């Protein structure tokens, strides 16, 4: 296990005070804080390697290109992709899913009544792009129900799959329930009926080792900012043989081979899906974040977060008998979504904030999921690699102060 004391020094923001109290940052599922090496990678890119990439013959452009393409190889390696060919930089998970919904939609949704399968636990960014596709192509959106503890109902999933299913898209880890889904099995079953599979890895990459080859899915989407990297960049990995059949998502520079007013031909993968100047600064910072995570070890991080989750879960249930938890699957990422009696989560979050504790409240961009449990909002504490047991203790001290005021 790494030294928490040393690691925390690499995150200057964790030393900040909020409302005169030390910050306790428990909103890591929304975004993670950034270590010095990531901020420094951004500085260095601007200080010493800033030029537009790919077409420049001059030294600086070639240097920036080298850094950007090295970052692509780094990100591909991190998720076990066999080559960087299928690794497309996007603005994040949301753009990655929209890219597939648009472009795979054009290529593979051929007749009215083709079906898309998602699950009840999806984030809005894994719902709305499919609704848009369904409206465009006359496709049907179907939804896999959950078991009461917040796992995919696999027998319902089996019966929803049919030869009409063109695509299945589910989260690897739920941002509300924390459930880790059996994505290999989901993929295997979908492939049996000839459907493509997209896995939304936004909440998974920072907490579990991802290997796209082992999962077997056709697409894997994630965001750098959830894994200690910069905001504004993420990745879509796609199986090259599938991506090659898909038309471009956006048109512009970089994604072309030749342009005339009569006809344009497209660049090879992955550039075909990267119109415009790419975020070559973000990509190098993304790569630095992955180096940082690898240095600590994803298994050590996962283990640490699981311990914090187990500790917080046990304390919540034993010290607040009127509390409830959304998502009680046996295998969870470090996410605790909860409520206490009739207290409105927003009030809880506001009072906790006054004590320096940052949690998230609301529907967490998963309104259908919350509604399926009969809630409009819940509170969510989510753990990152730098959180400590003492912080969890302070969180509970704060809860004991604020809960009696609100009950
Ligand atoms: N899917 C899940 C499961 C998420 O948690 C999030 C972010 N909350 C997203 C998708 C969207 O990620 P981004 O906003 O970085 O595109």
Distance 229 CA to ligand 1 centre (A): 14
Distance 7 CA to ligand 1 centre (A): 25
Residue 258 has pLDDT above 90, yes or no: yes
Q: What is the ipTM of this complex?
A: 0.99
| Substitution site in 29, 30, 93, 97 for ligand 1 pocket (most atoms within 8 Å of beta carbon) | 93
From the number of C-beta atoms within 10 Å of its C-beta (0-12, 13-18, 19+), residue 231 rates as: middle
Residue 371, pLDDT score = 97
Residue 11 has pLDDT above 90, yes or no: yes
- Tokens standing for 380? 């969510």
Q: How far apart are CA 244 and CA 108, in angstroms?
A: 12
Residue 55, pLDDT score = 81
Residue 175, pLDDT score = 98
Share above pLDDT 70 across residues of the chain, in percent, rounded to a whole number: 100
Residue 56, pLDDT score = 85
What would the pLDDT profile of 158-186 be if each residue is shown by its tens digit? 999 999 999 999 999 999 999 999 999 99
pLDDT band at 303 (very low <50, low <70, confident <90, very high): very high
Distance 30 CA to ligand 1 centre (A): 8
* Cβ–ligand 1 contact at 90 (below 6 Å): no
Measured by CA distance, the residue closest to atom 6 of ligand 1 is 202
CB 53 within 8 A of CB 199: no
Measured by CA distance, the residue closest to atom 12 of ligand 1 is 93
pLDDT band at 242 (very low <50, low <70, confident <90, very high): very high
Residue 104, pLDDT score = 97
| Main-chain dihedrals φ then ψ at residue 89, nearest 5 degrees | -80, 135
* Cβ–ligand 1 contact at 54 (below 6 Å): no
Tell me which residues are annotated as active site. 365
Residue 321 has pLDDT above 90, yes or no: yes
| Substitution site in 122, 171, 203, 230 for ligand 1 pocket (most atoms within 8 Å of beta carbon) | 203
Distance 164 CA to ligand 1 centre (A): 28
Residue 407 has pLDDT above 90, yes or no: no
Residue 369 has pLDDT above 90, yes or no: yes
Mean pLDDT of the chain: 97
pLDDT band at 33 (very low <50, low <70, confident <90, very high): very high
Q: Can you give the three-state secondary structure of the chain, one letter per residue? A: CCCHHHHHHCCHHHHCEECCEECEECECCCCCCCCHHHHHHHHHHHHHCCCCCCCCCCHHHHHHHHHHHHHHHHHHHHCCCCCHHHEEEECCHHHHHHHHHHHHHHHHCCCCCCEEEEECCCCHHHCHHHHHHHHHHCCEEEEECECCCCCECHHHHHHHCCCCEEEEEEECECCCCCEECCHHHHHHHHHHCCCEEEEECCCCCCCCCCCHHHHCCCEEEEEHHHHCCCCCCEEEEECHHHHCCCCCCCCCCCCEEEECCCCEEECCCCHHHCCCCCCHHHHHHHHHHHHHHHHHCHHHHHHHHHHHHHHHHHHHHHHCCCEEEECCCCCECCEEEEEECCCCHHHHHHHHHHCCEECEEECCCCHHHHHHCCCCCEEEEECCCCCCHHHHHHHHHHHHHHHHHHC
What would the pLDDT profile of 104-137 be if each residue is shown by its tens digit? 999 998 889 999 999 999 999 999 999 999 999 9
Provide the CATH number for the domain formed by 4-26+297-406 in this structure: 3.90.1150.10
Measured by CA distance, the residue closest to atom 8 of ligand 1 is 30
Residue 285, pLDDT score = 98
| Substitution site in 31, 129, 175, 179 for ligand 1 pocket (most atoms within 8 Å of beta carbon) | 175
pLDDT band at 323 (very low <50, low <70, confident <90, very high): very high
Indicate which atom in ligand 1 lies nearest the CA of residue 226: 15
Residue 359, pLDDT score = 98
**Triad 208, 209, 212: Cα angle to 5°:** 120
* Cβ–ligand 1 contact at 223 (below 6 Å): yes
Distance 41 CA to ligand 1 centre (A): 24
Distance 320 CA to ligand 1 centre (A): 30
* Cβ–ligand 1 contact at 93 (below 6 Å): yes
List the domain boundaries for the chain.
4-26+297-406, 39-294
* Cβ–ligand 1 contact at 28 (below 6 Å): no
Residue 134, pLDDT score = 97
Provide the CATH number for the domain formed by 39-294 in this structure: 3.40.640.10
């Amino acid at each position: 296990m790494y030294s928490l004391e040393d690691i925390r020094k690499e995150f200057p923001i964790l030393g900040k005070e909020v409302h005169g109290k030390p910050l306790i940052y428990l909103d890591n599922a929304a975004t993670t804080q950034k270590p010095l090496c990531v901020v420094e990678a951004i500085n260095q890119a601007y200080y010493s390697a800033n030029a537009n990439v790919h077409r420049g013959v001059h030294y600086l452009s070639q240097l920036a290109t080298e850094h950007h393409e090295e970052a692509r190889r780094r990100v591909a390696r991190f998720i076990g992709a066999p080559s960087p060919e299928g690794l497309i930089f996007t603005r994040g998970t949301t753009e990655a899913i929209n890219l597939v919904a648009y472009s795979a939609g054009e290529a593979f949704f051929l007749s009215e009544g083709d079906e898309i399968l998602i699950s009840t636990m999806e984030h809005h960014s894994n719902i709305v792009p499919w609704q848009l596709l369904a409206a465009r192509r006359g496709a049907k959106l179907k939804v896999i129900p959950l078991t009461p503890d917040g796992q995919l109902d696999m027998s319902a999933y089996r019966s929803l799959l049919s030869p009409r299913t063109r695509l299945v898209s589910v989260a690897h880890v739920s941002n509300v329930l924390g459930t880790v889904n059996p994505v290999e099995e989901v993929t295997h079953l979908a492939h049996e009926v000839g459907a493509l599979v997209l896995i939304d890895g936004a909440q998974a990459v920072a907490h579990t080792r991802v290997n796209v080859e082992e999962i077997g899915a056709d697409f894997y989407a994630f965001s750098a900012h959830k894994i200690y990297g910069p905001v504004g960049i993420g990745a879509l990995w796609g199986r090259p043989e599938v991506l090659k059949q898909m038309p471009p998502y956006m048109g512009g520079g970089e994604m072309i081979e030749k342009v005339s007013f009569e006809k344009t031909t497209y660049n090879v993968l992955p550039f075909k899906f990267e119109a415009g100047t790419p975020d070559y600064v973000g990509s190098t910072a993304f790569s630095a974040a992955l180096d940082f995570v690898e240095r600590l070890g994803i298994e050590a991080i996962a283990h640490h977060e699981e311990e914090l989750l187990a500790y917080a879960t046990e304390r919540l249930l034993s010290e607040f008998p009127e509390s409830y938890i959304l998502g009680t699957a046996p295998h969870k990422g470090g996410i605790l979504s909860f409520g206490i009696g009739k207290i409105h989560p927003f009030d809880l979050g506001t009072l906790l904030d006054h004590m320096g504790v940052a949690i998230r409240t609301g529907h967490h961009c998963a309104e259908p999921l919350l509604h399926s449990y009969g809630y409009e909002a819940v509170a969510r504490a989510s753990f990152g690699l730098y959180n400590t047991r003492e912080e969890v203790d302070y969180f509970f001290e704060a809860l004991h102060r604020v809960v009696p005021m609100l009950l």
